[in-house]
Amino acid sequence: MVNASDSSSAAAGPSTPRAFPTPTRGAALPLTFRPRDQVALVVGSNRLAAVRAFSLLEADASVLVTSREPLESAHEELQYRVAAGEVRYIQSNPPDAGAWQAFLDQQEVSLVAVTDTLIGSSRRSNSSAEDIAAAARKLRVPINVSDLPNLSSFTFPSVHRFPGESGPSTLQVAVSTNGHGCRLAGRIRRDIATRLPSSVGAAVENVGKLRARAMSLSLPEEERRDISEDDVEMPLNTPVPQLGASVAGAECVTSDRDAPEAGTSGDVADAAEARLRRMRWVHQMSEYYSYDALSRLTPSTMGEALSTYSITSPPPALLPHHEGSTATTRQQGRIYLVGSGPGHPGLLTVAALHVLRTATLILSDKLVPAEVLALIPKSTTLHIAKKFPGNAEGAQNEMMELALAGAQKGEVVVRLKQGDPFVYGRGGEEVLYFREHGFESTVIPGVSSALAGPLMMGIPVTQRGVAESLILCTGVGRQGRAVQLPGYIKSRTLLVLMGVARIASIVDVLTSATSQGRDGTAYPRQLPIAVVERASSPDQRVVLSTLEHIEEALRSMEERPPGMMVIGWAALALEGKGRVDVLDGADEAQVVQEWLGGEAWKVREGLSDEWNELLGSVEV
């Protein structure tokens, strides 16, 4: 019995009202559901059904798929998983809500995902979907019905599972728009995943190991609540003082086997206090240490971390706090393969410029222009490859060995290449070499000369009505051997890099009717060709001619390496008023005659005033 005074006292409440937030209704309740060994039903046999089945298998559910279609008509992945014994398949189509309720009850289903209501597929009727939803509600079973959010009690978020040290980690990021934009949810999820470092999954795994060590001694459940990460009362920055001598026995526990046995109540109290302090230190590390530092914890450094607990005295073996601060303190070297673009410093990528200015050792190919090398700080060690005829392989090997040796000493090494590292830059060889020796290099793309060179001269490599495709070749193969060149197709542009010095033999292979070095039709000798040299540099030059006269033209002037060839009708497409009707039956001889003005060749030199002004105004 409660008397009046008791009642008034109980109803009075706190003397000073507190302002609590007002809930904004309409949100979903995000949960992580673990249906281990519970039956999850997937209704449908399309590709989405296979996707749902896979997600449920990863959550350790017992997956049952049902469809009105026979298994032979199901998506091939479902057929595979049934054959492998990973999922069960029942061909069934209960006629009404009652029959569905009986089916769900008989199969002891704990979760339902309906996929054959997906827009664009062979759809289940809305009334049938309503029957399934009604049966699930009756049994209090969560249900998701694709493209019918009003019938769903939950939605499948877009999920990314981060990699760990060996396979997928326990870290998952899920994004849900609650049925208002599944595609957009996928895009947001990708953005989140790509912005977090790849080491974050391993960091989570290591924090889990740290927590297990911190709780290594057996404690009653009520005492474990004191060190729960769900504690909203305990501020994150609660002081964690150094342990005194009274708990020294528990202070240096580095594994379960090292844990002392609790003999007296005082021992238990001391051990509990040590564990509480240690767990709070793990909380601090989770918040303030970089993902990279956490991901690289070893059993040894975990033990060191748990042997001291002061926020002002972190274990010396660990890296500094916060993302971004680890980049300058890594002891292991790094290797960057960097493309320097076609030549002008203004056409470097921002990333390339950054590493040029922050590297400690730069190993440059000899064709990288002096204007780019001038951006390198005077204090940075610069080595230029000794590549000359007959020594290409030796110089390449030397550069790889120097890069590896530098990285092994902790240097930040840049292998600087002309154009793009993967476009005849031998970048792939270096990636594999460094990987074999324990270093995963980072490749920074460059603006390839294959595309930028012609562009700087106003030549498109593709152009509607002139060139519908392009093919890129090198003019010299491994160890100086000739390469097999493609045959002539009128609507295709042929780009040849590193071949100007061998232009006589290349023209012969292209135009000779009996050549064995070409696949397909011979090239007409009146076909336009442009030789682009030192593209984007102040002394850039293009020699415009035909296959018949280009060798003679180049002999009449000194060469300006590096150079490339643009072979095909694209070479003249934008000249003057333009000729974009070549593929429409224009008189080819007349087109070439008008282009060259009756001459055998013509030359254009230097950057245009507009390019000079633009590139001169670029701050690098």
Query: What proportion of the chain, given as a percentage, has pLDDT over 90?
Result: 57
Beta strands in 365-482 (DSSP E): 381-384, 412-417, 442-444, 469-474
Is it the case that residue 183 has pLDDT exceeding 80? Answer: yes
Query: Mean pLDDT of all residues in the chain?
Result: 84
Six-digit token string for 430: 């270096």
Is it the case that residue 168 has pLDDT exceeding 50? Answer: yes
Question: Residue 280 belongs to what H/E stretch?
Answer: helix 265-288
The Cα–Cα gap between 214 and 277 comes to 9
Q: Phi first, then psi: what are they for 305, rounded to 5°?
A: -65, -35
Indicate the Cα dihedral angle 565, 567, 569, 572, nearest 10°: 20
In angstroms, the Cα distances linking 426 to 363, 400, 415, 418, 562 are 14, 11, 11, 11, 16
Going 504 to 510 to 512 to 518, the CA torsion angle's sign is positive
Angle at 53 between CA 34 and CA 192, to 5 degrees: 70
- Residue 383's nearest CA partner among 361, 355, 411, 406 is 361
Decide: residue 78, CB within 10 A, 0-12 exposed, 13-18 middle, 19+ buried: buried
Cβ atoms of residues 522 and 513 within 8 Å? yes
The Cα–Cα gap between 62 and 446 comes to 50
Is it the case that residue 567 has pLDDT exceeding 80? Answer: yes
pLDDT band per the 50, 70, 90 thresholds, residue 494? very high
- pLDDT given at position 292: 85
Going 444 to 446 to 450 to 455, the CA torsion angle's sign is positive
- Residue 336's nearest CA partner among 350, 357, 355 is 355
Is it the case that residue 349 has pLDDT exceeding 50? Answer: yes
For 139-149, how does the pLDDT look when each residue is reduced to its tens digit (9 = 90+)?
A: 999 999 998 98
* CA distance between the termini of the chain: 85
Is it the case that residue 318 has pLDDT exceeding 70? Answer: no
3-class DSSP state of 605? strand
Angle at 324 between CA 283 and CA 378, to 5 degrees: 155
- Residue 296's nearest CA partner among 408, 199, 412 is 199
- CA 204 from centroid of its chain's CA atoms: 20
- Residue 213's nearest CA partner among 259, 245, 181, 158 is 259
- pLDDT given at position 3: 47
The Cα–Cα gap between 471 and 382 comes to 35
Angle at 230 between CA 227 and CA 231, to 5 degrees: 60
Q: What are the structural domains, with CATH classification, of the chain?
A: 39-156 (3.40.50.720), 162-196 (no CATH), 201-305 (no CATH), 334-447 (3.40.1010.10), 451-612 (3.30.950.10)
Is it the case that residue 558 has pLDDT exceeding 70? Answer: yes
Is it the case that residue 233 has pLDDT exceeding 60? Answer: no
Q: What is the mean pLDDT of residues 96-120?
A: 93
Q: Phi first, then psi: what are they for 235, rounded to 5°?
A: -60, 145
Q: Phi first, then psi: what are they for 452, rounded to 5°?
A: -75, -35
Angle at 207 between CA 204 and CA 209, to 5 degrees: 115
Cβ atoms of residues 202 and 297 within 8 Å? no
The Cα–Cα gap between 158 and 191 comes to 12
pLDDT band per the 50, 70, 90 thresholds, residue 562? confident
For 416-449, how does the pLDDT look when each residue is reduced to its tens digit (9 = 90+)?
A: 999 999 999 999 999 999 999 999 999 999 999 9
Cis before 445 (ω within 30): no
pLDDT band per the 50, 70, 90 thresholds, residue 247? very low
- The region of weakest confidence among 23-27, 236-240, 482-486, 542-546 is 236-240
The Cα–Cα gap between 321 and 297 comes to 14
Q: Which amino acid is at 25?
A: R
In angstroms, the Cα distances linking 456 to 131, 278, 387, 554, 610 are 66, 63, 27, 20, 11
- pLDDT given at position 238: 53
Is it the case that residue 265 has pLDDT exceeding 70? Answer: no
Question: What string of DSSP letters covers 297-321?
Answer: --HHHHHHHTT---TTS--TTSPPB
Decide: residue 307, CB within 10 A, 0-12 exposed, 13-18 middle, 19+ buried: middle
Cβ atoms of residues 410 and 333 within 8 Å? yes
Is it the case that residue 301 has pLDDT exceeding 60? Answer: yes
Cβ atoms of residues 307 and 413 within 8 Å? no
pLDDT band per the 50, 70, 90 thresholds, residue 251? very low
Kindly list the catalytic residues.
365, 386
Is it the case that residue 65 has pLDDT exceeding 90? Answer: yes
